[in-house]
Chains A and B, each alone.
Chain A
Amino acid sequence: MKSGLKRSNAPIFWSLFGAGGMLSALFGPVLVFITGIAVPLGLLLPAGTMSYPKMLAFAQNFIGKGFIFAVIALFLWFAAHRIYHSLHEIGIHPGLLAKLLCYGSAFAATLISAYVLLGLGF
């Protein structure tokens, strides 16, 4: 066995990446369709699907709150991990800066969404 091996901290980021990758693979397309296409164009779904009272109620519901949080946070952790690795792959190795930009924005978005969601009450 080699000596001087250092344990990688990748499992933390890799787990978030995997969870976000799976969540976005399962629900990404349909969420984009609902929020970005069907509702704005008034297609398929009833009028007022995303009206303020409905969305507020959804964001105040325990499950709804969790879902919004998981989607925003995990999508971004997934993307951050992939983008960080892609930068390395195309030969950009600015190290700390790239890391901060990728994972830092995911971390910030996680905090912000948690703050807003908690502020909306239960």
Chain B
Amino acid sequence: MAKVGIPHALAYYLYYPFWKTFFEKLGHEVVVSTPTTRAILDRGVEETVNDACIPIKIYHGHVASLIDQVDYIFCPRLISVRRHGDFGTETFCPKFLGLPDLIRLTFTGAPPIIDTPIDINQLESKPKSKKDKKRKPAEIMEAACVETGDRLGNSITQSRAAYQKAAQVHQRFLTLLEQGKLPPEAIDILFPPENPISYELENPEFNLAVVGYPYAIYDHYINVGLLNILHKENIKVYTQDTLSDKILNQEASELPKSMFWYFSNRAVYGALYYMKKGYIDGIVHITAFACGPDSMVDRLLEIEARRRGKPYLPISIDEHTGESGVRTRVEAFVDMLRYRRDKK
């Protein structure tokens, strides 16, 4: 029995159900940090290398808030989860690749960090045989789970059983997403809290596609409650996460070359998909200040949206973003949409 801390940031929004189930099935207690607050952000800004982007700083803040409460911090090294891209070399953003090391070297007094590599191409630094190279994604994921369980003192059999259960829950999570639930809603359905989040609307005035990284869209503190602002404006939100991989990947052929980053590709494909849909009235792109991949993503979407005649609103967020600023921009955007509609 150990207490495993999962920071409420970055990949949390897509993989939390999987890992929560996995650890609980093994008999451990999962501690999640609270949703981002001013204190968490300030702590993150203090600790992190100053040139990092805001989501990485927030992640550091979440880790700091967990340190005194847990026996282990779960910070897997997310490298790649699928063979995709022009050379099959898609990875996560380089900051994800070095994240466990940044955490380890920043918080020297922290509990042990579980930094299992999640890499579709090779699980260990060198594959043991040719057979290893051709392993199925499920086998690789299972091996990663076994390695994680091993760090916590669980046997291979236990880890395998827990993996099976976790994979089932993850599948249910994906099904909920495909039904149109946003990740925070889906997480609340799987693990019901007292006040579940819901963005259901009876008669939405507009449908907007909000694309970007999950940790920018669903973190209410950092985007100053954008989803709630849109909800109050009677706007239904679609994101790239409610589309299945199959639908998303069809968009790859629209580009001369796929991007190298998993979350960026998802955001770009999602945006391209929604640009073609008549029921979507506009695209909102949420980008983090000084995000490297987003400097490319944002300009690409801006050009594509203009060529296809879809209204496009980029919102850049950083530690100084104020709610009134975002609200004003959203209101202006919605006014513009109304004007467009009435003109037609």
Q: Are A and B bound to each other? A: no
Interface residues of chain B, those whose CB is within 8 Å of chain A, are: none
Interface residues of chain A, those whose CB is within 8 Å of chain B, are: none
